[in-house]
Amino acid sequence: MQLIDTHNHLDTHRFESDFKQVPAQARKVGIVAHILPGVIRSWWNNLLQLCSQEDDLHPAIGLH
């Protein structure tokens, strides 16, 4: 079964030190894509940059 993580915040500072490890581990258990909501406008550029580094990361820019 292939799964999609429909909501995570890999763009936050919490994941700075292990950003590459999180999606790599997720792939091992069958997660084939991640949707990263961009809910803070000032972080959008960082979000887009992070998502450009991995084919399975997809930004969802928007405000709540």
What's the mean pLDDT in 39-47? 92
AA identity, residue 29:
V
Tell me the per-residue pLDDT of 2-33, one tens digit each, with 9 for 90 and over.
Answer: 899 999 999 988 988 988 999 999 999 999 99
Beta-carbon count within 10 A of 31 CB: 17
What's the mean pLDDT in 30-57? 95
CA 12 to chain centre: 9
First-to-last alpha carbon distance for the chain, in angstroms, is: 31
